[in-house]
Structure 1
């Protein structure tokens, strides 16, 4: 092990390409999957910014917040009376047609809350009060330009009915259709005949603790098979997973990361192979002196191991720096420990594989080659 480190240090120019290739692969994989996670957190923002103690009740088989079908408000009675659980509140989450003030149309996504359970936490108390007015809406400031809204109190139309912007927030950026926050009454009026009478999209039951929410969700799942029941965390995960698989973005990003891994692996293999061939006379001398072949094999593998270690060590600060730059530009990159650990393990596996491949050249070295 010490000999392999000394070799790497004295021949650093020879092995630097391998270290760089490993670092490149690790950086690409970590950033790709960090961007993927950051991208799909946007799809679950309405869930992630409401109280985590909420139990969401929706139509049977619903997998994402934007896919709910109308359910009878009479489902309220199914929750019944449970200690530590407030009466459920209806909640509307539905696509709608947004007519811009200056002409043109676009899709938006209504988030119509009845009480406090479904209100995103970034709203101020003044905005919550303003939303009690009929046909008042709030949206994220990053979506205002896209929807032709330039100032508070400006009006537009949703599904042909006039609405008024009473405020904007930060942190409610959308992936597709902009989120539009309003009251349940406003959302019901805007939906009109598209939502059957005495129906809503979700029922939200707020519990006093997350543990109580989990217990209530488990109870309702076991009791009623004709409706979907989630805790906020479960529904958030389900929404992200659905969007990830439906859009195939995860597969595309996975292929890009795999390509980086293959490129890095190929360069590392070539670096180790060339370095081993260049050291053929030294290895032949060792064999002639009676040094067992397995010790040389171990040396080559340790060289591959240390190339992986140095490559990962180089990649880590680069990943953090690039992620910080992406966040400064408004792009979310989530570098969870699972991503960093998985990237390190995969990269080390690639390096060890490169070392195993390089052993092919060692097997062909014979002491007699010194006489040529």
Structure 2
């Protein structure tokens, strides 16, 4: 066994150009997997940014609710009905709608997500938002998401420089009507695959912009429980007593529901899952070709080892060791390049593309498995390595 390790390594490094090309191929597979998994995780993480930023213990949504961007509302009366149950401390209605925001520099209009909330009540967890709620009590005032995508122009940059900034916001399907709002503060939520940017206004301003909306129809109901209350028990009581025109969810369930929608019921979720599988298959094919080529070029050496009395098991051990060496050596540059691409993607799209420990372990394990499977396929050539035939 001690002799097998240097043989496996020496075979790899005897042709340095081939080794470099081999590692480049494996690094490409590593980068491919990291990109696919990174974008898939970003899809889920960005989709629930709003959910995780809401200040609530339980949430009411419409039974027709599919995702945040589907905008299915329900009667406001159902939310206030929950105040009659023990353990419920307070409730807050939340409204939202897609609007169109005009880029001040280019004049182009882009879709943006508009939240309408009662500035006298806490809706979001962010101190950055809550400390500026008084500012939007005035009509036609807004808070702008600094992490919105670049197509909205330099709104956040100019505000940060102390300049007075006004934005032009219109209902999504409106051609002529638009409203000018003064930006009074910035906050951070960020975009998702379905939303490019966010604006928060008071509920009064919200209804002035979206005249077709009614205060009696809300999009999400936030329920704050009394300290020490059991959320699951109160959820069970509300489910048993409220009509079927609402659903009651905990934050964990609300987040899981949104992720499931993007994973199962959208083309994006299917595409990312398919690409991960295809990346794995492509990786096996690439690594197999590399190992097979290496075995073919060293076939005389393997035949010599067999002539010296070594068994097929010994030769298979060498191939598997080579596979592990290649997996580890190819993983390192692939990881470093992926980190750089993650950083570039995050800055360009404002999406939460971050390297996580789960991604690291998954890709490393996948590459080792791919190399092992490829090695098992490639060593079939060694079974026919008869010294008498080769010499």
Identify whether the pair has TM-score above 0.5, normalized to the shorter chain: yes
Residue of 167, 171, 187 corresponding to 2:184 = 167
TM-score normalised over the length of structure 1: 0.83
Aligned 8 A contact 2:115 2:206 in 1: yes
> Which one is further off, 96-105 or 226-235?
96-105
1:5: which partner in 2?
5
Change (3 A) 1:152 1:357: same
Shift of 1:300: 1.9
Residues 1-372 of structure 1 aligned to structure 2 (within 5 Å)? 2-11=2-11, 12=13, 13=16, 14-51=18-55, 53-75=56-78, 76-78=80-82, 80-83=84-87, 85-98=88-101, 105-114=109-118, 115-119=120-124, 121=126, 123-124=128-129, 127-141=132-146, 143=148, 146=151, 152=164, 154=166, 156-159=168-171, 160=177, 162-175=179-192, 176-195=195-214, 198-207=216-225, 212-221=230-239, 223-224=241-242, 225-258=244-277, 260-329=279-348, 330-370=350-390, 372=391
Q: Deviations 1:20-69 (Å, cap 9, x if unpaired)?
A: 32232122211322133224433333222233x43210111413222242
Report the CA distance shift for 1:367/1:273 in structure 2 as closer, same or farther (over 3 A). same
| Higher relative contact order structure (alpha carbons within 8 Å, sequence separation ≥ 6) | 1
Contact 1:4 1:303 in 2 (8 A): no
Deviation, 1:259, is 5.1
Mapped to 2, the partners of 1:341 and 1:5 lie a distance apart of 25
CA distance in 1, matches of 2:306, 2:151: 72
What is the Cα deviation at residue 344 of structure 1?
1.9
Distance 1:261 1:49, change over 3 A: same
Unaligned runs of 5+ in 2: 172-176
Cα distance 1:355–1:208, how it changes in 2: closer, same or farther (>3 A)? farther
How far is 1:105 from its partner? 4.6
How far apart are the structure 1 equivalents of 2:354 and 2:167? 36
How far apart in 1 are the matches of 2:167 and 2:346? 32
Does the residue aligned with 2:305 lie in a helix, a strand or coil? Answer: helix
Give a deviation string over 1:83-140, Cα, whole Å, max 9, x none: 3x32211111222455677966543322112243423516355521111123322222
Alignment partners' CA distance in 2, 1:145 and 1:299: 53
Q: Is the 8 A contact 2:140 2:181 kept in 1?
A: yes
Distance 1:143 1:356, change over 3 A: closer
Cα distance in 1 between the residues matched to 2:352 and 2:309: 58
With over 3 angstroms needed to count, the CA separation of the structure-2 counterparts of 1:259 and 1:96, relative to structure 1, is same
Cα distance in 1, alignment partners of residues 376 and 102 from structure 2: 63
Q: Distance in 1 between matches of 2:169 and 2:286?
A: 57
Q: Are the aligned partners of 1:42 and 1:174 in contact in 2 as well (CA < 8 Å)?
A: yes
Partners of 1:171 and 1:2 in 2: CA distance: 57
Report if aligned partners of 1:283, 1:296 keep a CA contact under 8 Å in 2.
yes
1:31 counterpart SS class = helix
TM-score, structure 2 length as denominator?
0.80
8 Å contact kept, 2:112–2:199 = yes
CA 1:219–1:68 in 2, change beyond 3 Å: closer, same or farther? farther
